[in-house]
Structure 1
Amino acid sequence: MKTKQENIFSSKTLSYFLQLAETMNYTQAAQILGITQPALTQQIKKLERTVGAPLFFSVGKKLHLSDAGATMLAATQEIYEVLNQATDEIQRSTSATSGAISVGFLASIEDSVFNAFIAKYYKMHPDINVNFRMMTRREIWERLENNQIDLAVMYLPDDSIKNWKPYESRTIFNEQLMFLHHDDVLAGRDTVSFNETVDNRPWVSYPDDYFLAHLMREMYKNQLVTLPKPVAQFTTPFQIAEFSNRTNVDTALPASFYVAHKNEITAEAASFEPAINFELSFVFRKGKDQIPRIANFLDELDAYLAEEDYLSRIVKDSGRMLADSNK
């Protein structure tokens, strides 16, 4: 017969509980977990029977953690933290030139510099397996929390994340958002005020829950200007740029992406006034940069960018790709 502890920790019960505590929505949690809602409900009820108390309660349609649920959440997070620390401690004794490195890369970021660096890194360290995945912001944070990726490459500051205590960050590049337009009146301008970007202009943008969409809303709000409602939304800068090319609607994209694909974009670019600045950064759990292979990866990327800065490499790599495509 299984003990109470074995019942609690069996299967994926705790991961199901954590996901539900994160979303506070059975349907959404079940979709993320890839299971049916009844299966999730069954696992939560099983956990509640084991601990002898309800973990959630509802007020209307809104789900809340009970006192017992809050206690279970804190304990579960501590358990995962201990396991993550143990994993990292073991890996600190491993080799700097062999093993695997898992990198979660925000899908809305221009990736040419990292593609070029990883190719060079492989040639120098063929025994290192770099697993490079394009992800949404939510996917990145879930995998960081569960220690499923070693490094995340994403935009900061991200005020949607409330608990930064377990994490560290390292700036890669100071980025800026550019206004892309097809207006002859604004042609040749280096800067454009927020008011000048909303004069009955149709927009294409990222989905509302993406970092850059959130950043835009906050900046326009701070300037007391209403952000135009987009006529279309896409998850990647390539899709946004292509839609803008085909329809002549305005948009805003990171300067690095514009520089990389300037020859393929028909819109003119100008900086916002005041500028919309943010950072491209590594984010990782505390101590991850002490694991030899990860420390070596970060150090060699620093050296790579010291030889030639991030923006210069984007220009070079995009030019090389364009030349290759024309052959």
Structure 2
Amino acid sequence: MPKTDALMSAKALRYFLQLTDTMNYTQAAQILGITQPALTQQIKKLEKAIGAPLFGQVGKKLYLTEAGKAMQIAAVKLLDTITAVVNNVQEFTQPDNGAVNIGVMDGIEPFMLYDFMEQFSEKYPNITIKITYVDRNTILQAVDQNSIDLAIMYLPEDKKHHLPLLPHQYKYEPIYTDQLMVLTHMPDVKPLETYPISQFLNQRWVTFPDHYYLSGVMDHLLGRKHQLTTKVQWPAVSQLLAAAMKDKSDTFISESSYLLHRDEIKGMVPVYIKRSRPLEMACVYRKGKAEIPRIGNLLKEWQIFLDNQALSSRLEETESISNTE
């Protein structure tokens, strides 16, 4: 057996650390459930492997040598690493334990996850779903680097140009075809009609931060010659709406956000904008992620969730409820 095998043996490291705790062979052997000679043999193997004594003795008392002190620090680190690896492997192989990290592109409200997570958690109570918001410029990088397992995002309009590796390295499942909407205080506009963005250039605006995806969509519609008079920027839809209603400023949000917050919106008229392209909301993940049992189960349950009722129908129900109130 190579010397490194003796050093890397988790059993030998645990025996060594137990002895450093008690500094007594008899007590350590009893705690470990082995004989004292067996413990002594393991310690001698470690000492032979590193070429130095780990323990010294004065009378009946043991003490750690300098080599023993260094070995104690190393053994703690090695066992922590081994434990972490085992936990990661168990999470990879066990379908009903661990965590799933979902990244949501900034500006998207994950309405589709609210009901789903409640249903999923009932079936898999030991799987934790962690939601984080990710910048539009780094969300695919986060997927690639495994800091998130799944991304809820808007796909670029020209996927072949902007995401050349998407068909090869990633899979994506459509969620909802969204649209940009403007909420305006302008008089004489009709709800849910379509208008050119030039009609609203003289309005005061409350908007998302510049780096948000919907801000980029609006910039594209405005072109290089025009820009909005922005009074303040807010990172969340609820903040945008509150500020816009209070200050009588215009704002823009997604159609899905409008349907979710329709009951809260007072004094603003929702309209569509000419030349505004559909926004493809999708769940994006690396192809290998589905092989991880807990993520594979989540994707399977997600499909069942969609089959029971399409997300567009859920939002339409939200709209119809608002209309009856």
Is the structural similarity TM-score above 0.5? yes
In 2, are the aligned partners of 1:204 and 1:232 still within 8 Å (CA)?
A: yes
**CA–CA distance in structure 2, aligned partners of residues 109 and 207 of structure 1:** 13
> What is the SS of the residue equivalent to 2:242?
helix
Letter in 1 for 2:288: G
| CA-CA distance at 1:295 after TM superposition | 2.1
| CA-CA distance at 1:146 after TM superposition | 2.3
Q: Deviations over 1:5-60 (max 9, x none)?
A: xxxxxxxxxxxxxxxxxxxxxxxxxxxxxxxxxxxxxxxxxxxxxxxxxxxxxxxx
Q: Who is 1:280 aligned against?
A: 281
Letter in 2 for 1:252: F
Q: Who is 2:124 aligned against?
A: 125
**CA–CA distance in structure 2, aligned partners of residues 144 and 102 of structure 1:** 10
Q: Who is 2:144 aligned against?
A: 145
Does residue 1:168 correspond to 2:167, yes or no? no
Compared CA separation, residues 314 and 129, structure 1 to 2 (3 A): same
| CA-CA distance at 1:315 after TM superposition | 5.7
Compared CA separation, residues 128 and 317, structure 1 to 2 (3 A): farther
Compared CA separation, residues 257 and 92, structure 1 to 2 (3 A): same
| CA-CA distance at 1:149 after TM superposition | 1.3
Compared CA separation, residues 317 and 127, structure 1 to 2 (3 A): farther
| CA-CA distance at 1:274 after TM superposition | 2.7
Q: Who is 2:200 aligned against?
A: 197
| CA-CA distance at 1:263 after TM superposition | 0.9
Q: Who is 1:75 aligned against?
A: none
Does residue 1:184 correspond to 2:187, yes or no? yes
**CA–CA distance in structure 1, aligned partners of residues 92 and 233 of structure 2:** 46
Does residue 1:256 correspond to 2:275, yes or no? no
**CA–CA distance in structure 1, aligned partners of residues 110 and 92 of structure 2:** 31
- Runs of 5+ in structure 2 lacking a partner? 1-88
Compared CA separation, residues 210 and 107, structure 1 to 2 (3 A): closer
Q: Which has the larger radius of gyration?
A: 2
Q: How does 1:72-151 map to 2 (within 5 A)?
A: 94-138=93-137, 140-151=139-150
Letter in 2 for 1:264: E
**CA–CA distance in structure 1, aligned partners of residues 192 and 215 of structure 2:** 24
Q: Who is 2:78 aligned against?
A: none
Q: Who is 1:269 aligned against?
A: 270
**CA–CA distance in structure 1, aligned partners of residues 241 and 184 of structure 2:** 11
Q: How does 1:15-26 map to 2 (within 5 A)?
A: none
TM normalised by structure 2 equals 0.63
Q: Who is 2:291 aligned against?
A: 290
**CA–CA distance in structure 2, aligned partners of residues 189 and 92 of structure 1:** 48
**CA–CA distance in structure 1, aligned partners of residues 131 and 203 of structure 2:** 37
Q: Deviations over 1:245-282 (max 9, x none)?
A: 11111111000110011110121111112333111111
> What is the SS of the residue equivalent to 1:313?
helix
Q: Who is 2:212 aligned against?
A: 210
Compared CA separation, residues 178 and 225, structure 1 to 2 (3 A): farther
In 2, are the aligned partners of 1:180 and 1:250 still within 8 Å (CA)?
A: yes
Q: Who is 2:241 aligned against?
A: 241
TM normalised by structure 1 equals 0.62
**CA–CA distance in structure 2, aligned partners of residues 125 and 318 of structure 1:** 31
Compared CA separation, residues 274 and 162, structure 1 to 2 (3 A): closer
In 2, are the aligned partners of 1:113 and 1:317 still within 8 Å (CA)?
A: no
In 2, are the aligned partners of 1:112 and 1:317 still within 8 Å (CA)?
A: no
Letter in 1 for 2:302: L
In 2, are the aligned partners of 1:92 and 1:290 still within 8 Å (CA)?
A: no
**CA–CA distance in structure 2, aligned partners of residues 237 and 103 of structure 1:** 20
**CA–CA distance in structure 2, aligned partners of residues 316 and 167 of structure 1:** 32
| CA-CA distance at 1:117 after TM superposition | 0.9
In 2, are the aligned partners of 1:154 and 1:280 still within 8 Å (CA)?
A: yes
Deviates most, 303-312 or 145-154: 303-312
**CA–CA distance in structure 2, aligned partners of residues 248 and 134 of structure 1:** 28
**CA–CA distance in structure 1, aligned partners of residues 271 and 124 of structure 2:** 41
Compared CA separation, residues 170 and 189, structure 1 to 2 (3 A): closer
Compared CA separation, residues 142 and 158, structure 1 to 2 (3 A): farther
| CA-CA distance at 1:215 after TM superposition | 1.4
> What is the SS of the residue equivalent to 2:148?
coil
| CA-CA distance at 1:91 after TM superposition | 8.2
| CA-CA distance at 1:98 after TM superposition | 2.8
